[in-house]
A = this chain, B = another copy of it.
Amino acid sequence: MADRLSISFRLLSPAGLALLLSSALSVQAADLARVTSPDGALAVIVQSQHEGRLSYRVERNGDPVIAPSRLGMLLGDGRLERNIALTAQSQRSVDETWEQPWGERRLTRNHYNELRTRFSEKPGAGRDYARQFEVVFRVHNDGVGFRYEFPQQAAMEQVTVQAELTEFALAHPATAWWIPAFEWNREEYLYHQTPLKEVGTAQTPLTLRSDNGLHISLHEAALVDYAGMNLARGDGDVLHAALTPSGNGAPVQRSLPFHTPWRTITIGETAAELAESSLILNLNEPNALGDVSWFTPAKYVGVWWSLHLETETWGTGPRHGATTANTRRYIDFAAANGFRGVLVEGWNTGWDGDWFANGQAFDFTRATADFDLPALARYGAARGVHLIGHHETACAVSHYERQLPAALELYARNGVDVIKTGYVCDAGDIQRQDRAGGPILREWHEGQWMSNHHLRVVRQAAEKHIAINAHEPIKDTGLRRTYPNWVSREGARGMEFNAWGNPPNPPGHEATLVFTRMLAGPMDYTPGIVSLKGRNGLPLRSTLAKQLALYVVLYSPIQMVADLPEHYAQHPDAFQFIKDVAVDWEQSHVLNGEIGQYVTFARKVRGGEEWFLGSVGSEQPQTLDVPLSFLDPGRRYRAQIYRDGDGAHWETAPFAFATETREVRSGDPLRIALAAGGGMAVRFVPLD
């Protein structure tokens, strides 16, 4: 691991300060500071505008990417925007390579130049003190991160952030892929593709393709003890930070010192470059948990799809899914096919009646009468299978937190080392109760309080060597680097929408997710519905081959084998790939991709020599030619190809499916013929 660090820091002389103050307060825009990426292509320039307003801009090879964009805050003691003067600046460079305990790639290079700017605001508007703050910019070759830092200062002990004034003024018109913020169904919307000018208020990551071809993703990294940032469009092509509200006052309340999350601008020539960027992870703090070898990336099965098909129920009764007998069946199925985990939803008390309206009824330490947790844990252990825990809160989150220590203890005792948590309720309806019996406040899924809740769960779970997979979660901002037991999450329209319809996910959904939601991090999409049918026979808009490709395309260190055992029995040829595919990777490469159209990944298994390829398309048939240049040079591989068969089409012939085996070498061409709604999956097994 290389690690090079150089620091220069320059405090301004009083004369220099006076000059800057006077220039900062003049009407002319003046460049105050500048920092470039290690390759020199990207530059961030900090400038002072009219009346001492602060802004930044981003250029790429001299062309504007982000036009001058405001920096500032609306704080509890007043707007922090005007009359701001630079008092110091420093730069440093970092080039290090770090190792993910699990992930899309083992080694990640973190190479950037950092600019730290220190500012002071003239007192005024009811304040007799000068507020001090810093803005730190890190410029990588693949994008920019910046954050505000508020150092300790005598006059400000506490601060409330009523609004963050940060802007992202895109320098060129662009096409945007986005989902609306503050809507009832949280993150579970189909992505809109509109001109940037037609974005309303959007969640991040928000993906843009500029009219000049550049690809840009706006997001944030390391969302800790702060409100999630959404993007509200102002005039034209300008997006403003819009913090998620709190039910307890201002969106953010903090003691000094504190810093905001990183505001991130990932920039790539191609969509594929966005998907390969490690900017979000690089901007997070290193692993805080130490050895996490107790977490094992793995596939899992479970009592889940049947619930969404409504052939089994969460609540007790004649069709209760989480029975001892049914769970044994899943354990047997997992053991027979090499899957490590068995998820069981509906195992605990509280599901009977209207659980959506009564999360306070959930008991996380009491199983239903027909579910013998210890016996099943032992039964699984004897077969190398671990139960996967399930904590659905229905948003009674404080109620859940009060039970959390005992609930974790129960699971740890029974060998449960992954828990799927759930926060099903409408947005803004999280129940926060700071003390038992106290008033219940309402919080948003992505507010400051929930940012802390999730970390409380993750940290306590880590102590028990348990990993967390949150559904209806807060958005991913790369915290898996710091807390590697936060292994996956939902946070988008997943497979269950294909059970429900209204409508099912369209054929291009996954090729959109790769370049939008998944720029944030792993998703527990739960692929592998080989029956290709939802509730009441509702057809998935997918071919059989595509269900296999999803295991390579949609990264998660835990991947569900989501269909019913009896359905896999009907498709043994396809099922073979699901058994074979890896979940943890030494390398990952995006071979091609256009947002919402198609994408192809190649990944090399961690701790092995096999490669896997997955490609998914969209509405129309497509043919992609890729060179197998990722394969290790000089070696021969047996390519086990799982592809759409002749005439395959998600609507008319979804089961048209073919397998073939071919010997290939690095650099050989591969033609990927994707049917409408189709996909292709390949396993490359070294022959020598």
Contacts and interface: CB of A to CB of B under 8 A. Distances in A.
A425 interface: yes
Contact of A442 (B77, B200, B427): B77
Nearest to A196: B198
A200 B125 contact: no
A287 interface: no
A672 B323 CA distance: 85
Interface residues of A, number: 55
Given A442-B76, A442-B78, A125 B162 contact: no
Contacts of A427: 79
A201 B234 contact: yes
A233 interface: yes
Given A81-B184, A233-B200, A74 B125 contact: no
B357 A429 contact: no
A78 B197 CA distance: 33
B79 A180 contact: no
A126 interface: yes
B200 A124 contact: no
Interface in A414-433: 425-429, 431
A396 B126 contact: yes
Contacts of A248: 249
B76 A183 contact: no
A125 B431 contact: yes
A499 interface: no
Given A79-B429, A81-B426, A354 B124 contact: yes
Contacts of A78: 429, 431, 440, 442
A245 B442 contact: no
Interface string A74-117: 11111101110000000000000000000000000000000000
A56 interface: no
Contacts of A162: 245, 247, 428, 442
A181 to B, nearest CB: 9
A441 interface: yes
A235 interface: yes
Nearest to A163: B428
A182 interface: yes
| Count of identical protomers in the assembly | 2
Contact of A201 (B198, B232, B356, B360): B232
A667 interface: no
A359 interface: yes
A358 interface: yes
A399 to B, nearest CB: 9
B180 A235 contact: yes
B184 A79 contact: yes
A638 interface: no
A428 B79 contact: yes
Contacts of A169: none
Contact of A180 (B198, B234, B440): B234
A192 interface: yes
Interface string A439-464: 01110000000000000000000000
Nearest to A442: B78
A69 to B, nearest CB: 14
Contacts of A81: 184, 426
Contacts of A425: 125
A16 interface: no
Contacts of A467: none
A403 to B, nearest CB: 16
Interface of A: 74-79, 81-83, 122-126, 162-163, 180, 182-184, 192, 194-195, 197-198, 200-201, 232-236, 245, 247-250, 354, 356-360, 394-396, 425-429, 431, 440-442
Given A78-B431, A125-B358, 14 more contacts: A74-B442, A76-B441, A77-B440, A81-B426, A123-B357, A163-B245, A163-B428, A180-B235, A195-B198, A197-B198, A200-B233, A200-B234, A201-B233, A232-B232
23 contacts: A74-B442, A79-B184, A79-B426, A79-B427, A79-B429, A79-B442, A81-B426, A82-B426, A125-B356, A125-B357, A125-B358, A125-B359, A126-B359, A126-B360, A126-B431, A163-B245, A163-B428, A180-B234, A195-B198, A197-B198, A198-B236, A200-B200, A247-B250
